[in-house]
Amino acid sequence: MFTGIVREVGRIDAVEGDDERRTIVLAAPDTAAATEVGDSVAVAGVCLTVEAVDDGQLRFHAVTETLGRTTLGALVVGASVNVEPALRAGDPLGGHLVQGHVDGLGRIRASAAEGDGRRVAIEVPETILRYCVEKGSITVDGVSLTVAALADDAFEVALVPHTLAATTLGSLAEGDRVNLEVDVLAKYVERLVEPRRVVR
């Protein structure tokens, strides 16, 4: 479990493999210092299991499911990614409950300065938009954000200066793809209220 509060921006040092399995080596010294093999770490919003820790680097293994459903399949050496270690008992819940289970991909429609921050519009499929509500929570590339506005095929977020400085979101450009995770509470509510088929 995560909170969507990015603790470090890491750098991809190596990517090996193909579309079915890939090894990712991430330089994230602050996170690596407090991480052990088997721990969960969110990389660009994707929950991955640490396979090795070595001199400030973390190594992960991504399988077909992960590569096909997230942006991790497009990672290249030198890319920057948002990093968050798993929430520990007693840690503050500064964002919202995030699982690191990407629900789908969005595409940046527009990004424009708005005062000291930026206003970003993200195109999303209906399967994602149905869970978005104005002033509700959404996770974009691992960052907990508040939905500022909704359209028929997109939502907008307002990024404050700290978010722009402490995450990769400040470098987003039109056409970029981002990992999205909706608020898990909305999915549970939907499941509980949907009609149930009675098996006889």
73-85: b or e for each residue (b if 16 or more CB lie within 10 Å)?
A: bebeeebebbbbb
Choose among 175, 137, 173, 171: nearest CA to 155. Answer: 137
pLDDT of residue 24: 98
> Which amino acid belongs to residue 133?
V
Q: Do 3 and 139 form a contact (C-beta atoms < 8 A)?
A: no
CATH class of 104-190: mainly beta
Tokens of 71: 């942006």
Residues of the chain with CATH 2.40.30.20: 8-85, 104-190
How confident is the model over 98-134, as pLDDT tens digits? 999 999 999 999 999 999 999 999 999 999 999 999 9
* Cβ neighbours for 134, distance < 8 A, ≥ 6 positions apart: 147, 148, 149, 150
How confident is the model over 70-84, as pLDDT tens digits? 999 999 999 999 999
Does domain 8-85 sit in CATH 3.90.110.10? no
Q: End-to-end CA distance of the chain, in Å? A: 38
User: Which residue matches tokens 């991809």?
Assistant: 12
Cα atoms in the 13 Å half-sphere on the side-chain side of 25: 13
Task: Say what the pTM is.
Answer: 0.92
In this model, does residue 56 exceed pLDDT 70? yes
Tokens of 47: 């929950």
pLDDT of residue 19: 82
How confident is the model over 1-39, as pLDDT tens digits? 999 999 999 999 999 998 889 999 999 999 999 999 999
| Three-state secondary structure call for residue 107 | strand
Report in angstroms the alpha-carbon separations of 178 from 44, 98, 154: 8, 16, 13
Interatomic CA distance for residues 4 and 65, integer angstroms: 22
**What is the average pLDDT value for the chain, to the nearest integer?**
94
Q: Which of 36-45, 64-73, 127-136, 186-195 has the lowest mean pLDDT?
A: 186-195
User: Which residue matches tokens 């977020």?
Assistant: 157
In degrees rounded to 5, what are phi and psi of residue 164? -65, -35
pLDDT of residue 92: 80
Q: What is the mean pLDDT of residues 44-63?
A: 97
185: confidence class by pLDDT, cuts 50, 70, 90: confident
The strand pairing partners of 141, in sequence order, are none
| Three-state secondary structure call for residue 120 | strand
